[in-house]
Every structure is written in C-alpha cells, then in structure tokens.
Amino acid sequence: MSYDVIIIGSGPAGLTAAIYNIRAGFKVLVIAGYAWGGQLMLTTEVENYPGFPDGILGPDLMQKMRQQAENLGVEFIDKDAVEIDVNKRPFKVYTGLNTQIEGRTVIIATGAATKWLDVPGEKELIGKGISSCAPCDAFFFKGKNVIVVGGGDSAMEETLVLARVVNSVAIIHRRHEFRASQIMQDRVFANAKIKVLWNTMVTEVLGKDKVTGVRLRNYSSSEARSQNDSSRPFASNNNTKESEMPIDGVFVAIGHKPNSEKFIGRIDLDDKGYVIRHEQYEGKLLKYWSSTNVDGVFVAGDVHDYRYKQAVTAAGFGCIAGLDAEKWLDEQKG
C-alpha cells in the first residue's frame, strides 16, 4: 500500500491535516489507532470549539471530523502504528507483523495523554467534577470551590484561569516549593482567591455521582521531596496527617505524556518526549513550520505542543502540517 501522505493519529490535528491533504488531491491514509479520536473521546461537553453554539460532546465532535474526512475520501486503518522507518524515502510505517505501508510524507499527530493521579475515586469521577483542562471546564465551576493538583507551569496556568470564575481555588502540591517559572508563581501568590497546601497529596477523590471532596495526606516538610530528588517516593511514617476537604472540583495538572515512544531514535524528541518542531535553523525561519528533523516528516498537535493543548489549536497545527506536506510534495515534483 502506497500513499502520498500517511497521518499517524486521529485527533483534531490528524483529521484536520487529512481534510486539507485530500482536498489538495493527494492519496491520504490516517493510521487512527485502536482507540481512535484522541483525548476528546474521553471528555463530555465541549463548549469552546467554535461552530457549536449549544456545545457538543467530545466523541460527537470527533465522529463529525472523521465523517468529514471519510466523505472526502480519506482512508482509515483503526490500528496502532507500531514502527516507523524514516531512514529513506518512501517512508515506511508498520501497523503489525508483515503490514508495511509506504508514504511519500508522514505527519505525526499522535497526541498526548493526561497524567492522572491514579488514586481511588478518580477514574469514576473524570468528567463529573474531575478535569484536566481549566480553559475547557472552569465555566462549569463558576462560584464554586475547587482544587488544582500540581506544581508546574500548567498547574499555575490552570489555577489562574480558574481564579477568574470560581469562589476559591487551592493548589495541592506534594513538595514545599513549586517547579513553575517564577513569573507564574508570582501571579499565583498575588491572587487573594488562591491558597496553597504544601507537602500534601490527594489520596482519594470522594463522591458518588459527582465530586464532593478529597482525602488529603499532609507530610512534614522534612519528608517532602527535594527539587533534586523528585523520583524518591515519600517515606511513610507517623508524621503524616490525614484530612478530608469538601470541594466541588478537582483539576489535575501534573503533566502530560506525549505519545511518542515509537519515534525514539527516529525523530528528535525533547527531554520530556515531545517531538521537536524545527521552526528555525541556525537563526533562520524554516520554510515549513511543522518540520521535524527529518525532511518530509511533519508534526502537528499535542505530541509537540506542551503549551496550548486545546482541540482548536491542535486542529490549527493540523492545518499547518497539512499545508506544509502539500507544498513539500509539490516541490518534489518540480
């Protein structure tokens, strides 16, 4: 099987790239994954994607995007890409033993997965008071009391977004200092609506059909992790205090994990595993803004974007990668 464009991933980034490339007259395959559709398949109401005045359920939005791509002639394989060979062209993607697909270009749009706390009660209440996206869900907590878990830039950003609409927000952080940038910390400390519980971990989320509170474990600061030893688990001894905190919402902001394992050693990744987008080289803007280190392989969406992480920005990046792939293919002809 041979294609002009192989898109790995079927979230808003991958499907938008597919729509652009098929409309440009190319033969396009989306390797969608066994669990196709990306993170929106795990959400409920989406109210910040333009074009849906009454909101839309995440899975319905993805179904519509896929339908649009299929109607235009994009082919889909609902399997995971297990291996990619970008050493020479045409590029090769393998979806299982003996299943090799060739592509003149590849767009990587495999997304990222939210890191969750993995504590009792969490899984059942995601979407029922537990969220990982303040810009998406803050509005639902207007006038309520919420917590944010984490101590990085994402946690600060989520907290500041929430503070605009909620009654109060408490940051629960497992150490005695944040790892977030100073400027973000300063903004958080300057906001009277925000308080911080240091050396504290959420050990359970409480509630049956919706979040009603959390169980917390507070450690004396000598037990808390040091900045240089973040892999060391807390020692458990008698200096811990357990408590319950009534709360309406829990925002988990402990990081994301880009879905990039299969590209290790093949495509340049940063130290957190995000695909590096080579927008500039030696101080000059590159022609293709979605370039990876491999000529003809492009990237779009949360697998490279640790910052915005929105469906609409992923779709925007998908459009950029689609247009770049199109121009790159045209250039190969001439």
Chain contacts with ligand NAP (rule: CB under 6 A): 117, 149-155, 157, 174-175, 179, 201, 225, 230, 254-256, 306-307
Integer Cα distance of 23 and 190 in angstroms: 50
> Would residue 118 show up in a list of annotated catalytic residues for this protein?
no
Residues in the chain: 334
> Would residue 136 show up in a list of annotated catalytic residues for this protein?
yes
Least distance CB 116 / ligand NAP (angstroms): 8
Catalytic residue from among 133, 153, 319, 324:
133
Least distance CB 202 / ligand NAP (angstroms): 8
Chain centroid to Cα 206, Å, comes to 26
Nearer to ligand NAP, 117 or 329 (CB): 117
Question: Looking at the DSSP assignment, which residues form a beta bridge with residue 61?
Answer: none
Catalytic residue from among 137, 153, 302, 305:
137
Q: CB-based contacts of 271: which residues, under 8 Å, 6+ apart? A: none
Integer Cα distance of 209 and 95 in angstroms: 39
Least distance CB 311 / ligand NAP (angstroms): 17
Nearer to ligand NAP, 33 or 150 (CB): 150
Nearer to ligand NAP, 66 or 175 (CB): 175
Integer Cα distance of 19 and 135 in angstroms: 26
Least distance CB 72 / ligand NAP (angstroms): 34
Least Cα distance to 17 among 290, 279, 260 occurs for 290
Phi, psi of 273 (to 5 degrees): 95, 5
Integer Cα distance of 175 and 244 in angstroms: 19
Catalytic residue from among 136, 302, 305, 319:
136
Q: CB-based contacts of 53: which residues, under 8 Å, 6+ apart? A: none
Least Cα distance to 289 among 327, 261, 315, 263 occurs for 327
Nearer to ligand NAP, 90 or 255 (CB): 255
Position closest to ligand NAP via CB: 152
> Would residue 319 show up in a list of annotated catalytic residues for this protein?
no
Least distance CB 266 / ligand NAP (angstroms): 23
Nearer to ligand NAP, 176 or 262 (CB): 176
Active site residues: 133, 136-137
